[in-house]
């Protein structure tokens, strides 16, 4: 028993991208044209047109691929074993300790090289 999963067809993708560009251009133009209106009205207009552009973009081939990537990322995120609070605290303290030691070593090397340089210059 084999089942075939048909890949969705993405017709007129070029037209969809033109619609997306037109929506974004309309948002930019509208924001400029209605500059005398309150900012909140312009922000709402830009958000609505941006959401419409994103909605159209999700029906393109690239939008479908992006949704697939998001779904796969969510599946992988569920597989992650997150550290407990004590493990996170211990790891944080370890990192802070290593950074402190490394900074002391670098400060010592800097001091030694500075002393050597001052001896050579004199």
Phi, psi (deg, nearest 5) at residue 60: -95, 170
Q: 21-62: per-residue pLDDT in tens?
A: 999 999 999 999 999 999 999 999 999 999 999 999 999 999
DSSP 80: -
Q: To which residue do tokens 């001896």 refer?
A: 119
Where are the chain's structural domains? 1-80, 82-122
The span from the CA of 95 to the CA of 73, in Å, is 28
Residue 113: CA count within 13 A, CB half-sphere: 6
Q: What is the pTM of this model?
A: 0.59
Q: To which residue do tokens 């017709």 refer?
A: 11
């Amino acid at each position: 028993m084999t089942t075939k999963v048909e890949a969705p067809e993405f017709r007129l993708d070029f037209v969809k991208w033109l619609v997306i560009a037109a929506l974004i251009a309309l948002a930019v133009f509208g924001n400029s044209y209605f500059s005398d209106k309150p900012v909140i009205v312009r922000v709402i207009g830009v958000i609505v047109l941006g959401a419409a552009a994103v909605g159209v973009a999700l029906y393109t081939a690239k939008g479908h691929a992006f949704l697939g990537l998001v779904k796969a990322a969510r599946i992988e995120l569920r597989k992650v074993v997150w550290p407990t609070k004590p493990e996170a605290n211990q790891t944080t303290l370890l990192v802070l300790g290593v950074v402190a030691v490394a900074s002391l070593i670098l400060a010592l090397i800097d001091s030694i090289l500075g002393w050597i340089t001052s001896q050579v210059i004199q």
